[in-house]
Amino acid sequence: MLLPGKSTIKKMSVLAALLLLTGFGCKPTPQELADVQNINLTYWQVWNNSVEMQPLIDEYTKLYPNVQISFRSLRFEEYEQELLKAWAEDRGPDLFSLPHDWLPLYANVIVPSPASAKIQRVIMREPGIGELAASVQNVYTEEVTLLTSADIKRNYYAFVRDDVLSTVDLEAVHALGQETQGVLALPLYVDNMALYYNIGLLEENEIFDVPTNWQRFQEDVMKITKIDKTNNVIVAGAALGTTENVIRPTDILITLMMQTGVQMFDKANTYATFNRSIRPEDEYNAGLEALRFYVDFADPNKKVYTWNVGQSPALEMFKQGKLAYLFGYAYNLAEIRNSKVNFGVAAMPSPQEAVGNLTVANYWVETVAKKSKYQDQAWHFLNWLSRPENLLKLQNSGNRLSPLKEHQALAVDPYLKVFASQAPQALSWYHGANAPKAEEALMTMMGDAAAGKGELEAVLNTAAQQVTQTLK
């Protein structure tokens, strides 16, 4: 009887291991096959399209073949109404997007992320000779740890932490009288406001560098603006001073306020204080002066007059080459690139003595519906999308800035780099219960101020009272 040699034994051991790894000899039992859970997730978004998202969805469903994900991109104008209608009819999505400051408004329909998720793994075997389809090779359940509040604080920009973490009582710690923070949502990208400029218009007026402070900005606006005899603006130096025809006008005003040290709310976030930021030594009201600074650009009696309610939308004016300075976001890049305008992007101007470029963050976040039958799988999918390699793919596929601090230096697009450079200093200003109502109050304030409806101080105080009412 011949005994196998050492080399033969070694080869047989390796072969046995390979057979085990590939599933030979460990086929799923009939009960395991019966227990395979076919999961269908629905995912609604607004700003990401299927061209960007579908490759990632396909990659995930290949890893988890028992999961199917139906992705739907809706128009912003119809999105909220469609969500509310779908929830009322119990056919709402499992996953959906919201503006970053709308999370408190929809808290009753959101389920916070669990600490871990139980996920079924279905390993498929490629079809063999004579087989038409892949078959189930193995089935098992694994418990996967999900992103924690500590992960968010460590790896994401600070404003993300302020938006997506909520202090909640959990049963596990409630008995100890402690509180912990729950993850309400995860962003796939972030954005902040910067300054677009028309290179041709600047050079025509012998301006060869972009303003870094507001005083220089005013000087440039006065130099560039062309007005006819009836006060019609032919060429605008900048788009600000009004509300309806400016990109995110409230964000411009809030940036002006916060850059000059205005405290938007008290420390407990119980009432608005942007009308009370007064220096004791000279009674200078920074919030009031920021509002005055903004509306002056739409006042024909001011030297900086450059814009009015009769102008076309700011983005259209910029694309047509009739506007020198445009405040906008990275999400405006694609549309501006498709125009013929020769443009650049610069950091937000700031007060002369300021350090850095404080700006406002504006972005959407992804979350899971409380009514979802597959909450664990939905949160697992969001966590998988939020892996660094996937967020970097989204950043590189378009005008998207990753929410991870580690990706700031990896922005390849020269325009996107400007937004990336500002991200560490971007702020999210509102953390109350009803962001749309708060914005409505500010828009009314700005419109009334520009139209001269009452004293500026009275208009400012009224807005502060209205914003306070939205906090709880």
SS (H, E, C) the chain: CCCCCHHHHHHHHHHHHHHHHHCCCCCCCHHHHHCCCCEEEEEEECCCCHHHHHHHHHHHHHHCCCEEEEEEECCHHHHHHHHHHHHHCCCCCCEEEEEHHHCCCCHHHECCCCCEEEEEEEEEECCCCCCCCCEEEEEEEEEEECCCHHHHHHHECHHHHHHHEEEECCHHHHCCCCCEEEECCECCCECECEEEEEHHHHHHCCCCCCCCEHHHHHHHHHHHCEECCCCCEEEEEECCCCCCCCCCHHHHHHHHHHHCCCCCECCCCCCECCCCCECCCCCCEHHHHHHHHHHHCCCCCCCCCCCCCCCCCHHHHHHCCCEEEEEECHHHHHHHHCCCCCEEEECCCECCCCCCCCEEECCEEEEEECCCCCHHHHHHHHHHHCCHHHHHHHHHHCCCECCEHHHHHHCCCHHHHHHHHHHHHEECCCCCCCHHHHHHHHHHHHHHHHHCCCCHHHHHHHHHHHHHHCCC
Q: Which amino acid is at 112?
A: P
250, two tokens = 């409230």
Tokens 């997007």 map to which residue? Answer: 97
Q: Which residues contact 26 (CB under 8 A, 6 or more apart)?
A: 20, 138
CA distance 48 to 228: 42
Lowest mean pLDDT among 227-231, 274-278, 397-401: 397-401
| Res 136: pLDDT | 74
Nearest to 362 by CA among 287, 316, 429: 429
pLDDT tier at 34 (50, 70, 90 boundaries)? Answer: low
| Res 27: pLDDT | 65
Once rounded to an integer, what is the mean pLDDT over residues 24-42?
72
pLDDT tier at 133 (50, 70, 90 boundaries)? Answer: low
| Res 353: pLDDT | 78
**Where do the domains of the chain lie, and which CATH numbers do they carry?**
30-117+144-189+365-397 (3.40.190.10), 194-360+432-469 (3.40.190.10)
Q: Is the pLDDT of residue 127 over 80?
A: no
CA distance 349 to 259: 10
Indicate yes or no: pTM above 0.85.
Answer: yes
Cα distances (angstroms) measured from residue 345 to each of 361, 416, 420:
17, 9, 12
| Res 290: pLDDT | 97
332, two tokens = 């405006």
Bridge pairing between strands 95-99 and 364-368: antiparallel
CA distance 395 to 269: 33
Cα distances (angstroms) measured from residue 229 to each of 116, 233, 236, 389:
68, 10, 15, 57
Largest CA distance in the chain: 113
| Res 130: pLDDT | 65
Q: How many CB atoms lie within 10 A of CB 193?
A: 23
CA distance 391 to 35: 33
Which has more confidence, 454 or 178?
Answer: 454
pLDDT tier at 355 (50, 70, 90 boundaries)? Answer: low
pLDDT tier at 22 (50, 70, 90 boundaries)? Answer: very low
Q: Are 356 and 96 in contact (CB under 8 A)?
A: no
Helix axes 50-63, 375-385, angle to 10 degrees: 120
pLDDT tier at 101 (50, 70, 90 boundaries)? Answer: very high
Lowest mean pLDDT among 18-27, 271-280, 430-439: 18-27
Lowest mean pLDDT among 175-184, 235-244, 343-352: 175-184
CA angle 358, 363, 367 (to 5 degrees): 135
Counted residue by residue, the chain has a size of 472
Q: How far apart are the first and last CA of the chain?
A: 86
Tokens 């002369």 map to which residue? Answer: 352
Q: Which amino acid is at 200?
A: G
